[in-house]
Chain A
Amino acid sequence: MAEAPIELRVNGVACAPCVHPMRRLLDVLREDLLLTGTKEGCGEGECGACAVLVDGQLVDSCLVPVVQVRGREVTTIEGMADGTTLAVIQQAFIDHGGAQCGICTPGMILAARELLERVSQPGEADIREALAGNICRCTGYTRIFESVLRAIELERRQVSGSAGAWSKPGASRAR
């Protein structure tokens, strides 16, 4: 089967990699678009290290044939910061020990971001559920919960209405 250009937007930038339609989105991101922040931990949709947002929804990119994101907005870890300004959740992970070896961190941050956009005042139970598809072997999750809780607190204290806390301007919030 021939490769064909698949038009999509990644982190706000339009691109059209010429690939087989069944190529895993994970491989397109890492190998064709050279965005290596998204990781492969298992290839089975179990570990969440490959998690990205598609139109704001969390998915495991190892399970997505790239043709299915044609015309969509994909957000990876590389799209979280605004230039050199880290998103609040990223800074919280630094400040509160949310990352140890770092391999689960990109997927974990995106899962946290999806939660924070979906639920206005998540409690610890919401956080546990939201992150249950992202396996961390280093932290025991405790510092990750702490990082997310502190990020929620920080956002609450920021000027409301600002989209800047969680997303780059212009990134889609569509469901």
Chain B
Amino acid sequence: MRGDLGDFELVTVRTLHEACDRVAEGYRPLAGGTDVMVLFSSGKLAHPKWVDISGVDELRQVRVDEVTFDMGALTTYTGVRRHPLLSRELPMLAQAASETGGIAIQNRGTLGGNIGNASPAADSPPALLAYGAHVVLASRRGERTVPYETFHTGYKRTVAAADELVARIVVSRGDPRRVHYYRKVGPRRAQAISKVCFAACADRDGPRVRDVKIALGGVAPVPVRALEAERAIVAGEPFERVSEALGRAIAPIDDVRSNAAYRRRVADNLLRDFLRHVAHPS
């Protein structure tokens, strides 16, 4: 344990209002701790002031109406998996949740923490991007909603202002006939940081794809949408064009976990597999 408690302050709040006040004072939100506490243990946690928001019940609600899922930022991976409607209608998000860490991590890690931590290799972001999610940011100044596809601005950077925290994530319920495809490629079956993560959601008219969202993790400084490839698919272009378009959307690197050539090829293979799956969903 290399962290020195003397360097840190952790205050607790019970309401979103209090949380916003604290964030405005320079405290950063701490919920499940699955990222922050690892840094703390290794002596690498730079920021000294933290606010425990895990007790803010209003951020733990999942509200469902006819058209949306409104998930509080404190929704855990276990919470996603166990919610009968979420897991049925947003299977990619449920699958991402089930492939994150192991049971102990899933019981603690939160969606808000996952997107707020903004790792490009995170498992939920591609699913949320492919579902066209929106993020509700809260601060003392009020709330604002941004499309999730604009949320990540650079490596570990988001549009959230210094005084804002992620309050809720909103996802449309979507056509029940749409086709979902999610695949996380990591070094082992559990407790793994992904090398490439691929999520795609398509609406079809018979054999034709009417609308599709494709998102990837682990292949760029941020989780990305492959917008050009999506357009090419809807336009009915041949696979080679779609593949080239995907190639232009990603910028994989060599790192301690994998290399660029592998990531690029696997992303392309997953695209091919997805299109096969869309043609014959079973």
Task: Give the residues in chain B near A20, CB-CB below 8 Å.
Answer: 5, 8, 10
Complex CA gap A3/B232 in Å reads 60
> A-facing mask of B25-46, CB < 8 A → 1, else 0?
0000010111001101110000
Task: Give the residues in chain A near B8, CB-CB below 8 Å.
Answer: 1, 20, 22
Complex CA gap A130/B81 in Å reads 14
A63 interface residue (CB < 8 Å to B)? yes
Complex CA gap A51/B104 in Å reads 7
B173 interface residue (CB < 8 Å to A)? no
B252 interface residue (CB < 8 Å to A)? no
Task: Give the residues in chain B near A133, CB-CB below 8 Å.
Answer: 101-105, 190-191
Q: Contact between A64 and B41 (Cβ–Cβ < 8 Å)?
A: no
Complex CA gap A130/B105 in Å reads 11
Task: Give the residues in chain B near A168, CB-CB below 8 Å.
Answer: none
Task: Give the residues in chain A near B143, CB-CB below 8 Å.
Answer: none
Q: Contact between B12 and A129 (Cβ–Cβ < 8 Å)?
A: no
Complex CA gap A23/B78 in Å reads 25
Q: List 8 A-B contacts (CB under 8 A).
A: A21-B10, A51-B104, A65-B37, A68-B55, A111-B103, A132-B190, A133-B103, A133-B105
In the complex formed, the residue of A with least CB distance to B54 is: A68
Task: Give the residues in chain A near B12, CB-CB below 8 Å.
Answer: 21, 67
Pick the most buried of B5, B8, B11, B104: most chain A CB atoms within 10 A of its CB. B104
Q: Contact between A23 and B5 (Cβ–Cβ < 8 Å)?
A: yes
Q: Which of A99-148 contact B (CB under 8 A)?
A: 111, 114-115, 129-135
Q: Contact between A65 and B33 (Cβ–Cβ < 8 Å)?
A: yes
Q: Contact between A67 and B102 (Cβ–Cβ < 8 Å)?
A: no
Task: Give the residues in chain B near A45, CB-CB below 8 Å.
Answer: 34, 37-38, 101, 104-105
B: number of interface residues (CB 8 Å): 32
Task: Give the residues in chain B near A68, CB-CB below 8 Å.
Answer: 33, 52, 54-55
A77 interface residue (CB < 8 Å to B)? no
In the complex formed, the residue of A with least CB distance to B31 is: A68
A: number of interface residues (CB 8 Å): 34
In the complex formed, the residue of A with least CB distance to B11 is: A21
A-B contact count (CB 8 A): 99
Task: Give the residues in chain B near A48, CB-CB below 8 Å.
Answer: 102, 104
State the A residues within 8 Å of B (CB): 1, 20-24, 27, 40, 43-46, 48, 51, 57-60, 62-65, 67-68, 111, 114-115, 129-135
Complex CA gap A65/B34 in Å reads 11
Kindly provide the distance from the CB of A149 to the nearest chain B CB, expressed in whole angstroms: 18
Complex CA gap A23/B54 in Å reads 16
Task: Give the residues in chain B near A129, CB-CB below 8 Å.
Answer: 102-103, 190
- Name the one of B1, B104, B189 contacting A24, with C-beta atoms under 8 angstroms: B1
Kindly provide the distance from the CB of A154 to the nearest chain B CB, expressed in whole angstroms: 23
In the complex formed, the residue of A with least CB distance to B42 is: A43
B68 interface residue (CB < 8 Å to A)? no
B274 interface residue (CB < 8 Å to A)? no
Task: Give the residues in chain A near B33, CB-CB below 8 Å.
Answer: 63-65, 68
Complex CA gap A62/B10 in Å reads 16
B9 interface residue (CB < 8 Å to A)? yes
